[in-house]
């Protein structure tokens, strides 16, 4: 995004400026599924909308980028780490961006005002120098292609055990007409902007200055753009391939598929494809990271006297020991019975939450036994509440 161009990223994602990261993430996922090119093949409007959503989420999901955007109304990768008008990591000014040391009020006849003539001078300078750097990058050497994302919906068991999936991805590939260069064949022509000098003259108010030509990057020559791809060097085509999803992926996991991203520029290698997984929930098991949680009912007798009960796990039934005096809500651990970890060859744990079930009293004999139990155990379970009130 060029410096000076303002976009309302919050409106793009349909969230408030005070939205929490979780709300921003949910809005992004909902819109990404709706406008993803794979869901809307051949729909240019949906493709452009998806790019806008990606751009907005890239900034608002990053705490530092969002802070800069909230402060200045825009974000650019050309900004130095400290933001607009701040020193770079090397201690000097950020080329093409930092004009904070220049007094623009000389051109306004007084104090520089926000949004006034002095401010427009600052934006004008920034855009000129930013364009020059972009053009230099465009005429530089090989550049690796962009990474791509593809969202994949998985069932609970496929995520736990791993699976092999066949994907159809509308993947950019190198333009066959220009072999990915984005340039038409034939000799380069003299750059019409600088007349072959590699320098462009700019005038802003009373100032006149020379800069690297933003259209040829200082080479003085221009190659005509490829008519087949419009100069992008790539065309989008559906591609089918098999992908192995490893055991243990969860919602938000990213599975890297090397070399399946956008093609590189000027002979550079392709980017990578990242499969972003979204996993269905399970009616019994709840997953939190690599751990599995389940609620298991037990009788009053089992909780009071202790027992061995069978509980379901992702590996099948397992036996767990209920200690005497176990309370409702108490959690017991089955080590190594959780989900496989993507970071190491280990597994999480399964936690069994005990839920004591009170029986329905339907006869006098049962009532008498419970009254006798109350006489034998007269302690008040609410005594701590009385002491604190």
Cα 128 from Cα 121, distance rounded (Å): 11
Token representation of residue 283: 């009616």
> Residue 214 phi/psi, 5° resolution?
-75, -10
Q: What angle do CA 381, 386, 389 make, to 5 degrees?
A: 145
- Per-residue model confidence (pLDDT) at position 31: 92
**More confident position, 219 or 136:** 219
Who has greater pLDDT, 44 or 85? 44
Confidence of residue 221 (pLDDT cuts 50, 70, 90): confident
85 close to 34: Cβ distance less than 8 angstroms: no
Tens of pLDDT, residues 357-379? 998 888 999 889 889 988 998 88
The answer to whether residue 202 scores a pLDDT higher than 80 is no
pLDDT at 261 over 60: yes
- pLDDT at position 331 is 96
Q: What pLDDT is stored for residue 232 in this prediction? A: 77
| pLDDT at position 275 over 50 | yes
Cα 293 to Cα 290: distance, rounded to the nearest angstrom? 10
The reported pLDDT for the residue numbered 182 is: 79
Provide the 3-class DSSP secondary structure of residue 316.
strand
pLDDT at residue 1, as a whole number: 44
Higher pLDDT, 79 or 232: 232
Q: Which pLDDT value is given to residue 114?
A: 44
End-to-end CA gap in the chain: 60
Tokens found for residue 27: 């809005």
Q: Please tell me whether residue 208 adopts helix, strand or coil conformation.
A: strand
Task: Please say whether the beta carbons of 277 and 150 come within 8 A.
Answer: no
Give residue 306's pLDDT: 95
Q: How far apart are CA 160 and CA 291, in angstroms?
A: 11
Name the residue among 287, 289, 307 with its Cα closest to residue 297. 307
Q: How much is the pLDDT for 122? A: 53
Output the CA torsion 336→342→343→348 (10° steps): -20
Give the three-class secondary structure for 107. Answer: helix
The percent of residues above 70 in pLDDT, for the chain, comes to: 79
At 99 the pLDDT is 44
- Whether 352 and 331 have beta carbons less than 8 Å apart is answered as yes
Q: Which helix (H) or strand (E) holds 177?
A: none
Q: Which of 61-65, 115-119, 189-193, 287-291 bottoms out in mean pLDDT, i.e. has the lowest?
A: 115-119
Q: Report pLDDT for 298.
A: 96
pTM: 0.53
- Residue 28 exposed, middle or buried by CB count within 10 Å (0-12, 13-18, 19+): buried
φ, ψ of residue 385 to 5 degrees: the values are -65, -35
Average pLDDT over residues 212-221: 81
The pLDDT, as a whole number, for residue 133 is 52
Q: Is 14 helix (H, G, I), strand (E, B) or coil?
A: coil
DSSP character at residue 141:
S
Predicted confidence band at 89 (pLDDT cuts at 50, 70, 90)? Answer: very low
pLDDT mean over 117-143: 54
Q: Which residues contact 258 (CB under 8 A, 6 or more apart)?
A: 272
Find the DSSP H helices in the chain: 9-13, 21-35, 44-60, 63-72, 117-138, 156-161, 300-305, 364-376, 383-388
Average pLDDT, stretch 249-256? 94
pLDDT digits (tens, 9 = 90+) for 298-342: 999 999 999 999 999 999 999 999 999 999 999 999 999 999 999
* Contact indicator for 360, 336 with CB cutoff of 8 Å: no
3-state secondary structure of 105: helix
**CB within 8 Å of 185: residues ≥ 6 apart:** 178
- pLDDT value of position 116: 45
Least confident of 31-35, 205-209, 212-216, 363-367: 205-209
Contact 277, 162 (CB under 8 A): no
> Phi and psi of 300, rounded to 5°?
-60, -40
Predicted local confidence at residue 68, as pLDDT: 84
The mean predicted confidence, pLDDT, of the chain is 80
Q: How many residues does the chain have?
A: 389
pLDDT, tens digit, for every residue of 150-175? 999 999 999 999 999 999 888 777 78
Select the more confidently predicted residue: 108 or 189. 189
Sign, CA torsion 340/344/347/353: negative
- Distance (Å, whole) CA 94 – CA 116: 23
């Amino acid at each position: 995004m060029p410096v000076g161009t303002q976009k309302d990223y919050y409106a793009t994602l349909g969230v408030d400026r005070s939205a929490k990261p979780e709300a921003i993430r949910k809005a992004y996922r909902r819109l990404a599924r709706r406008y993803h090119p794979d869901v809307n093949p051949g729909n240019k409007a949906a493709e452009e909308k998806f790019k806008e959503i990606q751009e907005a989420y890239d900034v608002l999901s990053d705490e530092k980028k969002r802070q800069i955007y909230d402060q200045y109304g825009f974000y650019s990768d050309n900004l130095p780490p400290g933001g607009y008008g701040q020193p770079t990591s090397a201690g000097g000014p950020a080329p093409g961006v930092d004009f904070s040391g220049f007094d623009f009020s000389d051109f306004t006849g007084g104090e520089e005002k926000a949004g006034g003539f002095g401010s427009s001078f600052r934006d004008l300078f920034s855009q000129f120098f930013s364009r020059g750097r972009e053009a230099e990058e465009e005429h530089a050497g090989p550049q690796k292609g962009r990474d791509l994302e593809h969202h994949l919906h998985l069932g609970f068991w496929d995520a736990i055990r791993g699976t092999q999936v066949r994907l159809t991805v509308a993947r950019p590939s190198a333009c066959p007409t220009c072999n990915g260069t984005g340039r038409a064949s034939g000799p380069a022509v003299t750059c019409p902007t600088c007349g072959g000098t590699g320098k462009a003259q700019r005038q802003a108010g009373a100032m006149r200055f020379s800069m690297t030509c933003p259209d040829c990057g200082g080479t003085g020559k221009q190659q005509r753009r490829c008519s087949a791809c419009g100069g992008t060097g790539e065309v989008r085509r559906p591609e089918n391939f098999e992908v192995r999803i490893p055991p243990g992926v969860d919602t938000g996991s990213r599975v890297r598929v090397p070399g399946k991203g956008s093609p590189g520029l000027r002979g550079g290698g392709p980017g990578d494809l990242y499969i972003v997984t979204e996993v269905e929930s399970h009616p019994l098991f709840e997953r939190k990271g690599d751990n599995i949680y389940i609620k298991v009912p037990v009788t009053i007798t089992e909780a009071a006297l202790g027992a061995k009960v069978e509980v379901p796990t992702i590996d099948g039934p397992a036996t767990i020991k209920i200690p005497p005096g176990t309370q409702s809500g108490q959690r017991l651990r089955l080590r190594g019975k959780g989900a496989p970890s993507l970071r190491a060859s280990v597994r999480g744990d399964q936690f069994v939450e005990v839920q004591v079930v009170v029986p329905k009293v339907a006869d006098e004999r049962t009532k008498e036994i419970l009254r006798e139990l109350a006489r034998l155990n007269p302690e008040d379970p609410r005594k701590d509440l009385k002491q604190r009130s």
